[in-house]
Structure 1
């Protein structure tokens, strides 16, 4: 087996088994310890693994988040399904808040309720809601993030003090057993502030977000009321959510927890 084939195989093994040792690489691929170590060095240089004492694991820290258009295209069918499920939770006359998540964008698109008042940090969501009759839109002021088409900063957080809503819809870049995480502080500050001004917090997250940890922790599961996703959860994550009394809704399916 050539090295490149071996490297691919090692990464695939890690996806299923989480950890691999030097000795196991030697056993699986019939190579010397020096060769096994060279393989791990190569994979680490490519950013595909993190070397640990005597072995390696897959990276758990995700550092890059795509721009708005890239995020909008990623897992688009899953986001569409989740967005439709989220829209069904919004009633006529609800006051709601929406962050700049691309999954929440699909919820805004699917919104069929009437006479809603919506507060949002997303210029894209605001534009979509202008097409919804009898919807009043409040867009937060502040600094415009060109990469993510959203507003952030101290002014946006200050404006939230003027509002209180029935329901908050947010997305997330990553979910682990420790809770939600985001790539930068500004995202954390704004989402936390939004949560303080909503009676119910609804998180929209497709399957690709689970198991991803980013630099900044946003909140733990105790701050969430409902999680909407598109695939059954791992037992570890599900148990943590149930312990925090989070209602789990499987888009297109049944609730996993009452």
Structure 2
């Protein structure tokens, strides 16, 4: 038995046991590890091994299992919680950059159903005559999977994962030059911004790390510079943003609300954000 997102989790108010355990089933042990990470924000493999009376290899396997399910973020010899609060506390001596950015694969697994609904709703807005820009991010990557049917569409992207996915499709795929950023496999830098600024797009699909009444936020200053070029050189800017990002801020303010034409999301925004979006004339589409 392996813990999953649908498996019962210990209540947040229940204090996880700290006594040494030697015969716990793996699923029960993983539930308790999850609660320890969520409560403390950070745990080390060595501490888990001692706490539960298991080998460090077993502790690593438990953390890897929880990470694959998108419940925690793995780091070298440790794990951290995915909450914004934990990311801001700097637990365990991790660098600020590590704490700011969730690992790409972990984020990809979160809100999968929501991202798929958003991507399908976005694909409906497209025609084969469109000349589009696809930004960096898991929501935009999910949209790319919907584009194989659009023969002849020109797609410009600084996202290597998107380019690789569409390389075998009937779309014409274009990329800027620049520096490869390993965390997201994105192309960034001065040359990427310059190449993007020489294009014009009928639609630009943008991803963000957070959305508040103050605008959209992203975790990467480098990718944000390319994002600015997309926004500036597009007839229509379409933001793909699942509801888990509402009310969250990140390292860089990527755009003002009035720079967004359409927001596609999976749930209506909270009242204050909805009012700010309406004031900025942003059309909100809630995907089914």
Q: Which moved more, 1:162-171 or 1:69-78?
A: 69-78
> In structure 2, what is the equivalent of residue 113 of structure 1?
150
Confirm or deny: 8 A CA contact 2:134 2:156 kept in the other structure. yes
Rounded to whole Å, the distance in 1 between the matches of 2:240 and 2:270 is 17
Q: Which has the higher contact order (CA 8 A, sep 6+)?
A: 1
Alignment of 1:235 with 2:271, yes or no, is yes
- Which structure is higher in strand share? 1
- Within the candidate set 219, 229, 232, 1:193 is matched to 229
> In structure 1, what is the equivalent of residue 49 of structure 2?
none
Change (3 A) 1:192 1:60: farther
Confirm or deny: 8 A CA contact 2:196 2:226 kept in the other structure. no
> In structure 2, what is the equivalent of residue 226 of structure 1?
262
Secondary structure of the corresponding residue to residue 129 of structure 2: coil
Rounded to whole Å, the distance in 2 between the matches of 1:129 and 1:183 is 25
Confirm or deny: 8 A CA contact 2:117 2:266 kept in the other structure. yes
Question: Per-residue CA shift, 1:38-69, capped at 9, x if unaligned?
Answer: xxxxxxx9579xxxxxxxxx959865222221
Q: Runs of at least 4 residues of structure 1 off by over 6 A?
A: none
> In structure 2, what is the equivalent of residue 125 of structure 1?
162
How much does 1:101 deviate? Answer: 1.1
Confirm or deny: 8 A CA contact 2:210 2:246 kept in the other structure. yes
- Within the candidate set 85, 108, 124, 1:72 is matched to 108
Rounded to whole Å, the distance in 2 between the matches of 1:75 and 1:114 is 29
- Within the candidate set 186, 190, 194, 1:154 is matched to 190
CA RMSD of aligned residues (A): 2.3
How many residues are matched? 202
Confirm or deny: 8 A CA contact 1:61 1:212 kept in the other structure. no
Confirm or deny: 8 A CA contact 2:197 2:230 kept in the other structure. no
Alignment of 1:208 with 2:232, yes or no, is no
Secondary structure of the corresponding residue to residue 113 of structure 2: helix
How much does 1:238 deviate? Answer: 0.5
Rounded to whole Å, the distance in 2 between the matches of 1:96 and 1:89 is 11
How much does 1:184 deviate? Answer: 2.9
TM-score for the superposition, normalised by structure 1:
0.73
Rounded to whole Å, the distance in 2 between the matches of 1:155 and 1:172 is 22
In the TM superposition, what are the counterparts of 1:1-258 in structure 2 within 5 Å? 8-9=12-13, 46=40, 59=85, 64-111=100-147, 112-133=149-170, 135-252=171-288
Rounded to whole Å, the distance in 1 between the matches of 2:204 and 2:87 is 27
Secondary structure of the corresponding residue to residue 268 of structure 2: coil
Confirm or deny: 8 A CA contact 1:61 1:213 kept in the other structure. no
